[in-house]
Amino acid sequence: FEVKRDLVSFNTLFYSAAQACKNGVDYNGSQSLMWLDEMRSIGIMPDTASLNSLLMFVGSLSSRGKLKVEEIWTVVQEANKLGAVCDIQSYNLILFAIAGAIYHDKAAMKDVRYVLKTIDDAGLTMNTYTCNSLFEIMSRIASRSRLNKDAPSITIKDVREIFREMKSKSIAMDVVTFNSALCCVTALAKSNAASIRDAEDFIFEMRRLSISPDIITYTKFLEIIAVQAKVGKVDVREAELVMYQMQQEGIKPSLVTYNVLMEAMSGFLAWRKAKFEEAEAVLEAIEARGYTPDAYTITYFCHCARLTGGMRMVTPQRVNAVQRAWVVFRNLRMSKRTTVAYAAMMDAFGAVGRNQVGLGLLDLAESHGLMPDTVMMNAALRCCVDHKEVEEIVAKMDRMHIPKNSGTLKLIERARLGADLTLNYKYFR
């Protein structure tokens, strides 16, 4: 039988395809243009609603790395030729698609500025969603710059500039606005381009506008503290104050919140600004809340144990802490253990001279069906005490076709030059 094809059915198709793409259905990058061609061939002209539904699909494709920014604009231009007119929601969806492209290094800040210029030229006004999307994009740009080891192409001034523009145009702000801004601060802080004081300024502004922080706000704030803790710029009291404020406002910390707090504790311990007992207290709080520690929890608990007493010193306290971490690690269900968690436990054993026990975790992981990856093999290299062990690990990586990253190559080079790899423990994995 023949299925009726009209504007409504196409709009439904676009929306359904967007949801399917989000759920993992694989679509061709040119599918949008094929649908527009089909509409043209049967004389159906898309309207603004059609364009927006189609842009939702385009955004889903872009988030999976299927589209370049030029291809996003091609879809928009073809729809415009058929009579579809862009409204502010259209441009918001274009920004969402560009955010996905940025994640896959297929767009840049200049593409965002072009969208903003187009909005102005069309006589449209940005709304809350537009600005929230801008913060999300800036966060991704800062994150990608760090991963690519480039200087951030945005600064904290750029983030503040959006806020000033929102105020000048009387654009409403909500909790999502500030949470998105805190994401930017976190990403910039990782490149040492922002600090906890910047985050405090945004939270102060939230309260001034009578916008109540939520669990995401506090978790993001803790994430910034964790970043600053790694470089010794904040004290454990900062984290304690955040947890106290949450308690006072009746906000229940999630497991993610506690995991970020545990990450912060590892930074405090590296700079001797906390005691291992405080990391244990976080673990106890997780269990008291009825949560089950996951691989992220255990990974940073192992880091806390490894860094007890500072980055270098091996003390009885560290030995006891590593033993405690091992007990907790063994209690984690096999199905929830990740290669990163194994690597953290291996590093912890290596940090107290139990290198052979650390290397033994390779066999333990494989016996339970978890295949080692680059992260885990790098930890194994750090557990090696002689040249022979290093060559065995390298041979195993070659045999299993495990890729070597820059960290792997540096460890191998140091070993072949006769360096003592057991001293090669760094805070950053």
**Using an 8 Å Cβ cutoff, are 225 and 238 in contact?**
yes
Give buried/exposed letters for 416-427 (b at 16+ CB in 10 A, else e): eeeeebeebeee
Report how far residue 92's alpha carbon sits from residue 97's, in angstroms, rounded to the nearest whole number. 9
Indicate the burial class of 287 (C-beta count within 10 angstroms; 0-12, 13-18, 19 or more): exposed
Look up residue 153 and give its DSSP letter: S
* Residue-wise pLDDT tens digits, 245-301: 999 999 999 999 999 999 999 999 999 999 999 999 999 999 999 999 999 999 999
In a domain, 173, yes or no: no
Domain boundary among 124, 152, 175: 124
**Could you give the 3-state DSSP secondary structure of residue 178?**
helix
Nearest to 285 by CA among 258, 248, 249: 258
**Using an 8 Å Cβ cutoff, are 213 and 250 in contact?**
no
Structure tokens at 1: 């039988």
Nearest to 109 by CA among 122, 127, 95: 95
Domain boundary among 81, 100, 124: 124
Domain boundary among 105, 124, 143: 124
Report how far residue 71's alpha carbon sits from residue 94's, in angstroms, rounded to the nearest whole number. 11
331 CA to centre of own chain: 27
In a domain, 284, yes or no: no
SS3 content of the chain, % helix, strand, coil (to 5): 70, 0, 30
Structure tokens at 150: 């480039």
Q: How many residues does the chain have?
A: 429
For the chain, what is the mean pLDDT?
92
Report how far residue 350's alpha carbon sits from residue 247's, in angstroms, rounded to the nearest whole number. 38
**Using an 8 Å Cβ cutoff, are 238 and 221 in contact?**
no
Q: Count the helices and strands in the chain (H runs, E runs).
A: 21, 0
Residue ranges in the chain whose pLDDT is less than 50: 1-2, 423-429
In a domain, 380, yes or no: yes
pLDDT of residue 429: 33
Task: State the Cα angle at 385 between 384 and 391, rounded to 5°.
Answer: 55
- Within 10 A of 247 (CB to CB), how many other CB atoms are there? 11
Distance in angstroms between the alpha carbons of the first and the last residue of the chain: 60
Report how far residue 297's alpha carbon sits from residue 25's, in angstroms, rounded to the nearest whole number. 32
Nearest to 350 by CA among 397, 400, 394, 302: 302
Max Cα–Cα distance, the chain, nearest Å: 79
In a domain, 292, yes or no: no
- pTM across the whole model: 0.88
Domain extent, residue 366, equals 337-429
In a domain, 197, yes or no: no
Domain count along the chain: 2
Look up residue 368 and give its DSSP letter: T
- For 138, 163, 321, the CA distances from 98, given in Å and listed in that order, are 11, 21, 46
Look up residue 148 and give its DSSP letter: T
CA dihedral sign, ordered 244, 198, 119, 71: negative
Report how far residue 215's alpha carbon sits from residue 129's, in angstroms, rounded to the nearest whole number. 20
Report how far residue 72's alpha carbon sits from residue 387's, in angstroms, rounded to the nearest whole number. 52
Q: What is the Cβ-side half-sphere exposure of residue 53, based on CA atoms within 13 angstroms?
A: 18
In a domain, 187, yes or no: no
In a domain, 246, yes or no: no
Amino acid at 108: A
**Could you give the 3-state DSSP secondary structure of residue 172?**
coil
In a domain, 138, yes or no: no
* CA Rg value for the chain: 25
